[in-house]
Amino acid sequence: MFILIGNFGSRQRKIHASFQFFLFTTIGSFLMMLAIFIIFLHEGSTDFHVLYYTSFGYEVQLFLWLCFFVSLAVKVPLFPVHIWLPEAHVEAPTIGSVILAGVLLKMGTYGMLRFVTPLFAFGNFYFNPIVFVLSFMSIYYVSLITFCQIDLKKLIAYSSVAHMGYVTLGLFTYHFTGLQGTLFLMLSHGIVSSLLFFLIGMLYDRYKTRLIFFYKSIYSYMPIFTLFLFFATLANVGFPGTIGFVGEFLLMFSFLFVSKIAFVFASSGFLISITYAFWLYNRVSFLLPFHVFIFSDLSRREFFITMPFIVMIFVFGLLPYLILEILEPVSLFILNFNPFLFSF
């Protein structure tokens, strides 16, 4: 990713973005490496099968939890260590943004799922309110920043950060339905965000700009592109029948059992995301033309790149059990290692 952004980026700040990405990731990795050394000194092993059944002291566990969580929060990314992601997305080529959104961000939540939640049960219980606050800050603060963006790619990048806030929020509910929704939301975010970045990249290939100001009424000469962007927007806001709806519905359902206050805050956050998503779609697709050059619709290559994403959006949205049956053992595994929160 460092090479993709720094060498194949699209604008003048690509070197700044690549080093910012590298430094944030490296500093977070040092914290995790420190925690791994302490675990090895404490237990004499770094084997999962040994550590899953190891009981760390409370003070040691809290320190290890902080090291792991901060390093992985950089990857997610969570507020306030999210500032590297919009810059990296804007400067990266299209394929770099797709790898970031579809794969790399999931490494943060995967690490929380694989390391933090099973190994440090007391730490999860102790720091759970802080995780909720940071997740809500990621949702609200970043969503409000999204309204101020004039760059298409940066707007989608901030939207991606806000959606990852819901993923961490659901991951630390430790409710079976919430965990199912979180895992499904990780999958849907990877598919929908990747599709949006592909579509924005196709616009950039034609116009050589990502300023929203220059894109108006493209439905009149790019109808297939406009339709695909509409489907991606529906999935991004969690419209029923799309892949985005399933994870968000399960997540909101779990909040009714975990916290009514969390339900209110999370539902209002979804309303904000609906507002800026359709505001963007309307600005790009339907306003009167102004400083716009007419280009051709999606080529055959571009159509076959984006069509599999559209198929997955509706297949997994209408038949979610195809994924939920696979995710069920994972959710049960997490709950078994968190007796504090499960009983709470």
Give the DSSP letter string of 22-50: HHHHHHHHHHHHHHHHHHHHHHS---HHH
The yes-or-no verdict on residue 97 having pLDDT over 80 is yes
Mean pLDDT of the chain: 83
- What are the phi and psi torsion angles at 247 (to 5°)? -65, -40
Residue of higher predicted confidence among 343 and 205: 205
The yes-or-no verdict on residue 293 having pLDDT over 70 is no
The yes-or-no verdict on residue 334 having pLDDT over 80 is no
pLDDT tens-digit readout, 109-121: 888 888 888 888 7
3-state secondary structure (DSSP) of residue 270: helix
Query: Residue 10: its pLDDT value, please?
Result: 67
Confidence of residue 338 (pLDDT cuts 50, 70, 90): low
CA end-to-end span of the chain:
41
The yes-or-no verdict on residue 78 having pLDDT over 60 is yes
Query: Residue 344: its pLDDT value, please?
Result: 37
Confidence of residue 343 (pLDDT cuts 50, 70, 90): very low
Confidence of residue 337 (pLDDT cuts 50, 70, 90): low
Query: Residue 342: its pLDDT value, please?
Result: 46
Q: Which amino acid is at 50?
A: V
User: What does the DSSP 8-state code read for residue 78?
Assistant: P
Query: Residue 129: its pLDDT value, please?
Result: 86
